[in-house]
């Protein structure tokens, strides 16, 4: 019915589904997907090492190694899910396809928490690295926190305007990131690595079993960026092949580099120092301890600039990720439409960018006074990400049960057979491991428990209210008769 | 010689003449014209985001293209593409369709007081899999449009 015709009592209104008349032009290849993913996962070592060292002390490399195995299982689950469902929502899309709208919302909402904390924690760790150039950035909590808030607000503004950013920038940044990290690992192994000292430091400061488990739980934040690759699927050429390949490449790169950096960090300094003096900028600590003067002189400023740049890109990636996710959730009617409203001039989802940036700023505010805000953010990050990972594993298992014949260009091996259904063992292990770690964090970390659960409960209330307000037939309804 | 011609259109004053030229070239070889209008999507949005105002604008541009092609008696196929950037989308479209020519209309533009081709044309010239013809609208017409 044309909009110009006035509606009269008794009229029936039918709104047909609009036929899509546009095609998506996917242009990204494996290097672009890999670099976007590595840019996110690889950046987390710049702060995760310090957070893990706070509790795991000498067992930091062990905690990162065990979490690395969990990361392999999770990455494999994402590979199967993304190849089968190459959409922008990542784990939220898997959950929606496997369990329905409500699970899709919950997974997406958990993922949003993880993105918000990515923004906060990445922005929070930029100033300490830049402390090489101006010490108060590292030593003064007020200046450091102000700088972090300034970074988030600056990125909020440029994302509302919508700057041009080519995938070339991501590819270059990831390449420079890998080169820097590999150089540091190689130079560190040649100049710093001493198995005897390392062995003694690990044994002398071995944590209690409880701290080791918490350390493993915190180490999962080092690997929480897999989602980025999954979100890139919808703009990737042949996503069913490219994304799993890029994910497998990332598994190898991340595990090798993270293992190298964690071993060298403990060769360079005692875990107590890694956890305190270099807690927020552990990679700068490694450069500080390099014994060759000329390498140290070159690497210290280089790492300050590179880590700052990479974390800046990671902050921006978090902001882009959350606005895309909010839009995607909005188009599936899972969040209020305001979150997917587009600015008439800039053509960006400005409301979601502004809201989520301000929440990220709110998370940074305790940084002015509290010293443990850093580890609180780390745990909160892990809580959001692990919940999203749980949904991914559970969705992959459920899809194997509900839709055994759906096309799966990448299918996980090692299956157990239950009632003619193939259930992947890695997804089962991943699901229960994530659940165990998640519950442990909820029980042991009160700040993150209340903040994380508060976020989820708040989301559920918004979701229920929104769904209730939409309880009317969407395609056809009748105008009420005026009976006087 | 040029059987299948790809014409990216953007709603500029040069579109009209470029499409006419493409139709005449294609007709001579009993070929076909593919006209595409690219809607760029900012990175803060998923690629499949439906921005109604932009899609409507692109469809209006393509409607005009179809009218011109009808006047010229040439076969034309139109498409709206959504992409992050125009240049790679045009090149990719040319590769996928296996076209024998990309014909691009440009109007006289200045940037910082100097003549500028912008970002899209140099990208297409550098990466195109086939010959590219640039058609610049005469400066007199451009001035009258301004």
- Residue A2's pLDDT is 46
Is the distance from CB of A395 to CB of A91 less than 8 angstroms?
yes
Q: Pseudo-torsion of CA B86, B6, A25, A84, nearest 10°?
A: -160
Residue A15 placed within a domain: no
Residue A454 lies in a domain: yes
Contact A391, A107 (CB under 8 A): yes
- The region of weakest confidence among A6-20, A207-221, A290-304 is A6-20
Q: DSSP per residue over A296-315, as a string?
A: HHHHHHHHHHHHHHHHHHHH
| Residue A43: domain span | 25-471
pLDDT of residue A20: 43
Tell me what ipTM this predicted complex has.
0.75
Can you give the pLDDT at residue B146? 45
Mean pLDDT of all residues in A333-346: 86
| Residue B46, pLDDT score | 84
Q: Is residue A13 situated within a structural domain? A: no
Q: Does A345 touch chain B (CB under 8 A)?
A: no
Average pLDDT over chain A, rounded to an integer: 85
A292: CATH? 1.20.1740.10
Question: Is pLDDT above 50 for B14?
Answer: yes
Write down the pTM of the prediction: 0.82
Above 70 in pLDDT, residue A18? Answer: no
A348 touches chain B (CB under 8 A): yes
Confidence of residue A448 (pLDDT cuts 50, 70, 90): confident
Determine the residue among A20, A24, A25 to mutate to test chain B binding: the one whose Cβ has the most chain B Cβ atoms within 10 Å.
A25
The whole-number pLDDT of residue A16 equals: 41
Residue A5 lies in a domain: no
Q: How many CB atoms lie within 10 A of CB A278?
A: 23
Closest Cα of chain A to B116: distance in Å?
A: 18
pLDDT tens per residue, range A375-404: 888 889 889 989 999 999 999 999 999 998
**What residue spans define the domains of chain B?**
4-145
Percent of chain A having pLDDT more than 70?
90
What span, in angstroms and rounded, lies between the C-alpha atoms of A327 and A324? 5
Residue A88 has its nearest CB partner, among B46, B55, B59, at: B46
Nearest CB partner across the interface for B89, out of A25, A331, A349: A25
The pLDDT of residue A227 is above 90: no
Q: Is residue A9 part of a domain?
A: no
Query: Would the CB atoms of A24 and B48 count as touching at under 8 Å?
Result: yes
B46·A327 Cβ contact <8 A = yes
DSSP string, A402-453: H-TTS--SS---SEEEETTEEEEHHHHHHHHHHHHHHHHHHHH-HHHHHHHH
Give the model's pLDDT for residue A24: 66
Residues paired with B36 in a beta bridge? B8, B79
Of residues A370 and B84, more confidently modeled: B84
Q: Where does B4-145 sit in CATH, by number?
A: 3.40.50.620
Domain total for chain A?
Answer: 1
Residue A18 lies in a domain: no
Average pLDDT over residues A420-439: 92
The total of other beta-carbon atoms located within 10 Å of residue A15's CB is 10
Closest residue in B to A320 (Cα) is: B44
Mean pLDDT of A238-253: 85
CB contact under 8 A, A27 and B80: no
A141 within some domain: yes
Residue A118 lies in a domain: yes
Taking the C-alpha atoms of residue A423 and residue A430, their distance in angstroms, rounded to an integer, is: 12
Of chain B, the percentage scoring pLDDT greater than 90 comes to: 47
Please tell me the distance in Å from B105's CA to the nearest CA on chain A: 21
pLDDT at B143 over 80: no
Collect all residues with Cβ–Cβ distance below 8 Å to A283 and sequence separation of at least 6.
A45, A46, A49, A129, A184, A261, A303, A307
- C-beta atoms of A346 and B42 within 8 A: yes
Of B49, B54, B80, which has the smallest distance from its Cβ to A21's Cβ?
Answer: B80
Instruction: List pLDDT tens digits, range A107-120.
Output: 999 999 999 998 99
């Amino acid at each position: 019915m044309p909009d110009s015709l006035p509606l009269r009592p008794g009229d029936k209104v039918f709104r047909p589904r609009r036929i899509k008349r546009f095609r998506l032009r996917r242009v990204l290849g494996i290097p672009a997907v890999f670099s976007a993913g590595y840019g996110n996962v690889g950046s987390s070592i710049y702060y995760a090492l310090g957070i893990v060292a706070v509790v795991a002390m000498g067992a930091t490399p062990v905690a990162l190694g065990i979490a690395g195995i969990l990361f392999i299982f999770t990455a494999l689950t994402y590979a199967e899910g993304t190849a089968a469902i190459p959409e922008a929502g990542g784990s939220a899309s898997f959950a929606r396809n496997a369990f329905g709208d409500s699970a899709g919302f919950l997974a997406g909402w958990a993922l949003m928490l993880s993105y918000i904390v990515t923004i906060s924690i990445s922005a929070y760790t930029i100033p300490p690295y830049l402390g090489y150039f101006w010490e108060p950035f590292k030593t003064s909590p007020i200046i450091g926190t102000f700088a972090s808030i300034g970074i988030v607000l600056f990125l909020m503004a440029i994302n509302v305007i919508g700057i041009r950013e080519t995938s070339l920038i991501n590819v270059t940044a990831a390449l420079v990131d890998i080169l820097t990290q590999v150089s540091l690992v190689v130079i560190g192994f040649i100049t710093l690595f001493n198995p005897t000292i390392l062995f003694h430091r690990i044994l002398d400061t071995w944590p209690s079993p409880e701290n080791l488990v918490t350390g493993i739980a915190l180490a999962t934040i080092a690997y929480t960026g897999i989602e980025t690759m999954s979100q890139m699927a919808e703009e990737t050429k042949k996503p069913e092949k490219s994304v799993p390949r890029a994910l497998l490449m990332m598994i190898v790169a991340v595990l090798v580099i993270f293992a190298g950096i964690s071993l060298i960090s403990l060769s360079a300094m005692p875990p107590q120092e890694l956890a305190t003096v270099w807690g927020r900028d552990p990679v700068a600590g490694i450069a500080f301890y390099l014994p060759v003067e000329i390498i140290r002189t070159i690497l210290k400023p280089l790492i300050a600039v590179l880590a700052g740049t990479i974390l800046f890109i990671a902050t921006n990636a978090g902001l882009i990720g959350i606005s895309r996710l909010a839009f995607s959730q909005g188009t599936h009617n899972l969040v209020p439409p305001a979150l997917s409203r587009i600015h008439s001039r800039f053509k960006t989802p400005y409301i979601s960018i502004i809201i989520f940036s301000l929440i990220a700023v709110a998370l940074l505010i305790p940084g002015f006074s509290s010293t443990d805000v850093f580890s609180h953010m780390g745990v909160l990050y892990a809580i959001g990400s692990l919940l999203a990972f749980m949904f991914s594993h559970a969705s992959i298992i459920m899809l194997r049960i509900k839709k055994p014949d759906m096309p799966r260009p990448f299918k996980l091996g090692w299956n157990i057979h239950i009632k003619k259904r193939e259930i992947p063992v890695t997804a089962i292990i991943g699901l229960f491991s994530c659940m165990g770690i998640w519950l442990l964090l909820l029980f042991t970390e009160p700040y993150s428990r209340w903040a994380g659960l508060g976020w989820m409960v708040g989301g559920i209330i918004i979701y229920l209210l929104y769904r209730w307000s939409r309880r009317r037939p969407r395609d056809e309804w009748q105008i009420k008769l005026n009976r006087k | 010689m040029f059987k299948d011609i790809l014409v990216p259109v953007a709603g500029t004053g040069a579109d009209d003449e470029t499409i006419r030229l493409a139709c005449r070239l294609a007709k001579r070889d009993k070929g076909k014209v593919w006209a595409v209008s690219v809607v760029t999507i900012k990175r803060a949005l998923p690629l499949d985001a439906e921005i109604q105002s932009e899609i409507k604008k692109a469809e209006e541009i393509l409607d005009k293209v179809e009218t011109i092609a009808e006047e010229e008696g040439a076969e034309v196929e139109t498409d709206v593409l959504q992409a992050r950037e125009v240049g790679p989308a045009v090149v990719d479209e040319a590769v996928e369709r296996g076209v024998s020519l990309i014909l691009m209309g440009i109007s006289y533009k200045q940037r910082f007081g100097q003549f500028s081709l912008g970002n899209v044309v140099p990208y297409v010239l550098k990466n195109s899999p086939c010959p590219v013809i640039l058609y610049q609208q005469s400066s007199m017409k451009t001035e009258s449009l301004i």
